[in-house]
Amino acid sequence: MKAQPWDDEEYVKYILWFVFACVIYSMIGFSWGALMGGIHEFRHFVDHRMHGNLIVRAHTHINLLGWVEMAIFAGIYYIIPRLVQRGIYSIKLVKVHFWMHNFGLIGMVVFFTMAGIMGGNASLTMNPEAVEAIVKPWLATMGIFGTLVLLANFIWAYNIFMTCRKPK
């Protein structure tokens, strides 16, 4: 009997890691949202301090790129081999995608949050131009990590396209 794509233990492990990452990011995102909504001082900080909204962006990205995208990736990685009745084009690309996406996302969240905290605190005593000068390098670094996420998503798209390109 011919081995099926889902018989590849390494492939199944990575699909499950995408699911586990999805669950972890969702718990972080849900908790973060509850804290922002439930703690008056935190809500006031993100709503009324200069660049405090960057903390909301960090929360949004952990939900969208962590919870939602990871679930979508796991689902598509699971479904596509069954639809086309062959293995994924490259398990190596699945691994690169997983690690690059997670590394990039964590970096984005950390640097969005740091920019929001630094900008929000600095806005109490500094003029807007000085606050911008403090926040700018944090956001530039966040952009580097965001680029990693984007590249990871292109790797995913390429891998799926190559898996689907030839009919059985």
How far apart (Å, rounded) are the C-alpha atoms in residues 153 and 97?
7
* DSSP structure class, residue 165: S
Q: State residue 11's pLDDT score.
A: 94
pLDDT digits (tens, 9 = 90+) for 103-142: 999 999 999 999 999 999 999 999 999 999 999 999 999 9
Q: Which residues are CB-neighbours of 89 under 8 A, at least 6 positions away?
A: 159, 160, 162, 163
Q: State residue 3's pLDDT score.
A: 67
Q: State residue 168's pLDDT score.
A: 56
pTM for this entry: 0.91
How far apart (Å, rounded) are the C-alpha atoms in residues 164 and 83?
9
- Which residues of the chain register pLDDT less than 50? none
Q: State residue 131's pLDDT score.
A: 93
How far apart (Å, rounded) are the C-alpha atoms in residues 52 and 36?
11
How far apart (Å, rounded) are the C-alpha atoms in residues 165 and 5?
16
